[in-house]
Amino acid sequence: MVDQSAVGRAFTPVTARVEPGRLRFFLDTLGERNPVYRDDKAAPVPPTYLFCLEMMDATEPFEFLNALDIDLARVLHGEQRFDYHAPVVVGDTVTFKPRVTSVTDKKGGAMTLIVVETAVTNQNGVHVADTSRTIVVRNARPS
Protein backbone atom coordinates (compact mmCIF):
# COMPACT_ATOMS: atom_id res chain seq x y z
CA MET A 1 0.00 0.00 0.00
CA VAL A 2 1.10 3.54 -0.70
CA ASP A 3 2.11 5.35 2.47
CA GLN A 4 3.22 8.83 3.56
CA SER A 5 6.70 8.25 2.16
CA ALA A 6 5.21 8.94 -1.29
CA VAL A 7 4.40 12.55 -0.40
CA GLY A 8 6.77 14.90 -2.17
CA ARG A 9 7.75 12.42 -4.86
CA ALA A 10 8.13 14.11 -8.23
CA PHE A 11 7.83 12.43 -11.60
CA THR A 12 9.41 13.00 -15.00
CA PRO A 13 8.29 16.34 -16.49
CA VAL A 14 6.26 16.04 -19.69
CA THR A 15 6.46 18.54 -22.55
CA ALA A 16 3.59 18.62 -25.04
CA ARG A 17 2.74 20.78 -28.04
CA VAL A 18 -0.85 21.90 -28.65
CA GLU A 19 -1.24 20.52 -32.18
CA PRO A 20 -4.34 21.57 -34.15
CA GLY A 21 -4.96 18.10 -35.62
CA ARG A 22 -4.90 16.35 -32.27
CA LEU A 23 -7.09 19.07 -30.80
CA ARG A 24 -9.65 18.60 -33.63
CA PHE A 25 -9.78 14.86 -32.85
CA PHE A 26 -10.60 15.71 -29.22
CA LEU A 27 -13.25 18.30 -30.23
CA ASP A 28 -14.90 15.93 -32.73
CA THR A 29 -14.94 13.11 -30.16
CA LEU A 30 -16.86 15.33 -27.72
CA GLY A 31 -19.16 16.68 -30.44
CA GLU A 32 -17.78 20.13 -29.63
CA ARG A 33 -19.12 22.64 -32.20
CA ASN A 34 -18.17 25.89 -30.44
CA PRO A 35 -16.36 27.97 -33.14
CA VAL A 36 -14.05 29.50 -30.51
CA TYR A 37 -12.04 26.23 -30.55
CA ARG A 38 -11.85 25.89 -34.35
CA ASP A 39 -9.38 28.68 -35.11
CA ASP A 40 -6.18 26.86 -36.07
CA LYS A 41 -4.04 29.92 -35.29
CA ALA A 42 -5.05 31.03 -31.82
CA ALA A 43 -7.80 28.76 -30.50
CA PRO A 44 -7.79 28.29 -26.72
CA VAL A 45 -7.74 24.71 -25.48
CA PRO A 46 -10.93 23.33 -23.86
CA PRO A 47 -10.97 23.44 -20.04
CA THR A 48 -9.96 19.79 -19.50
CA TYR A 49 -7.48 19.46 -22.36
CA LEU A 50 -4.37 20.01 -20.24
CA PHE A 51 -5.06 16.65 -18.60
CA CYS A 52 -4.98 15.03 -22.06
CA LEU A 53 -1.84 16.78 -23.24
CA GLU A 54 0.09 15.50 -20.23
CA MET A 55 -0.90 11.90 -20.97
CA MET A 56 -0.50 12.11 -24.76
CA ASP A 57 3.12 13.12 -24.74
CA ALA A 58 4.32 11.29 -21.64
CA THR A 59 6.90 8.61 -22.37
CA GLU A 60 5.24 6.59 -19.62
CA PRO A 61 1.66 7.90 -19.14
CA PHE A 62 1.06 5.91 -15.96
CA GLU A 63 4.53 6.54 -14.52
CA PHE A 64 3.28 7.61 -11.11
CA LEU A 65 1.23 4.40 -10.76
CA ASN A 66 4.18 2.26 -11.74
CA ALA A 67 6.55 4.23 -9.51
CA LEU A 68 4.25 3.76 -6.50
CA ASP A 69 3.56 0.12 -7.41
CA ILE A 70 -0.18 0.70 -7.93
CA ASP A 71 -2.15 -1.68 -10.16
CA LEU A 72 -3.94 0.30 -12.92
CA ALA A 73 -6.96 -2.00 -12.57
CA ARG A 74 -7.47 -0.80 -8.97
CA VAL A 75 -7.51 2.91 -9.72
CA LEU A 76 -10.46 5.28 -10.07
CA HIS A 77 -10.43 9.02 -10.66
CA GLY A 78 -11.76 10.69 -7.52
CA GLU A 79 -11.43 14.41 -8.16
CA GLN A 80 -9.94 16.77 -10.70
CA ARG A 81 -9.16 20.45 -10.45
CA PHE A 82 -7.77 23.04 -12.87
CA ASP A 83 -6.60 26.54 -11.91
CA TYR A 84 -5.97 28.67 -14.98
CA HIS A 85 -3.49 31.56 -14.70
CA ALA A 86 -2.89 32.44 -18.39
CA PRO A 87 -4.27 31.26 -21.74
CA VAL A 88 -3.02 28.10 -23.46
CA VAL A 89 -3.60 28.25 -27.23
CA VAL A 90 -2.91 26.19 -30.34
CA GLY A 91 0.80 26.19 -31.12
CA ASP A 92 1.91 26.53 -27.50
CA THR A 93 4.33 24.08 -25.95
CA VAL A 94 3.56 23.34 -22.32
CA THR A 95 5.54 21.51 -19.67
CA PHE A 96 3.96 19.55 -16.82
CA LYS A 97 5.75 18.92 -13.51
CA PRO A 98 3.78 16.46 -11.37
CA ARG A 99 4.37 15.60 -7.71
CA VAL A 100 2.50 13.81 -4.96
CA THR A 101 1.09 16.22 -2.38
CA SER A 102 -0.95 13.96 -0.14
CA VAL A 103 -1.76 10.35 0.69
CA THR A 104 -4.84 9.57 2.82
CA ASP A 105 -6.23 6.22 3.86
CA LYS A 106 -10.03 5.87 3.87
CA LYS A 107 -12.45 3.28 5.18
CA GLY A 108 -9.92 1.61 7.44
CA GLY A 109 -7.41 1.17 4.64
CA ALA A 110 -9.88 -0.18 2.05
CA MET A 111 -9.09 2.85 -0.09
CA THR A 112 -6.17 5.23 -0.42
CA LEU A 113 -6.57 8.71 -1.89
CA ILE A 114 -3.49 10.07 -3.62
CA VAL A 115 -3.30 13.69 -4.73
CA VAL A 116 -0.92 14.59 -7.57
CA GLU A 117 -0.47 18.30 -8.23
CA THR A 118 1.05 19.48 -11.47
CA ALA A 119 2.43 22.91 -12.33
CA VAL A 120 2.10 23.81 -16.01
CA THR A 121 4.34 26.35 -17.76
CA ASN A 122 4.49 27.42 -21.39
CA GLN A 123 7.34 27.94 -23.88
CA ASN A 124 8.02 31.41 -22.42
CA GLY A 125 8.27 30.14 -18.86
CA VAL A 126 4.85 31.57 -17.96
CA HIS A 127 3.08 29.61 -15.22
CA VAL A 128 -0.18 29.02 -17.11
CA ALA A 129 -2.02 26.57 -14.87
CA ASP A 130 -2.01 24.20 -11.93
CA THR A 131 -3.85 20.92 -12.02
CA SER A 132 -4.70 18.55 -9.22
CA ARG A 133 -5.92 15.00 -9.59
CA THR A 134 -7.10 12.75 -6.82
CA ILE A 135 -6.70 9.05 -7.49
CA VAL A 136 -8.66 6.48 -5.53
CA VAL A 137 -6.86 3.19 -5.06
CA ARG A 138 -9.10 0.23 -4.17
CA ASN A 139 -6.73 -1.72 -1.96
CA ALA A 140 -6.64 -5.48 -1.99
CA ARG A 141 -8.11 -7.04 1.15
CA PRO A 142 -5.42 -8.60 3.28
CA SER A 143 -5.68 -12.39 2.97
With CB under 8 A as the contact rule, the residue among 76, 106, 109, 123 that binds other proteins is 76
Instruction: Pick the closer one to other proteins by CB: 8 or 47.
Output: 47
Min CB(35)–other proteins separation in Å: 11
DSSP string, 5-35: GGTT-B---EEEE--HHHHHHHHHHTT---G
Amino acid identity at 46:
P
CB contact at 8 A, 107 and 25: no
Residue 116: other Cβ atoms inside 10 A: 20
Region from 76-84, 93-101, 106-114, 117-125 binding other proteins, contact rule CB under 8 A: 76-84
Tell me the C-alpha distance between 32 and 35, whole Å: 9
Residues 25-64 that bind other proteins (CB under 8 A): 25-26, 28-32, 34, 36-37, 44-48, 51-58, 61-62
Quote the least distance from Cβ 129 to other proteins, whole Å: 10
Give yes or no for residue 92 binding other proteins (CB under 8 A).
Answer: no
- Tell me how crowded residue 119 is: count the other CB atoms within 10 A of its CB: 16
Measured from the CB of residue 2, what is the shortest distance to other proteins in angstroms?
A: 18
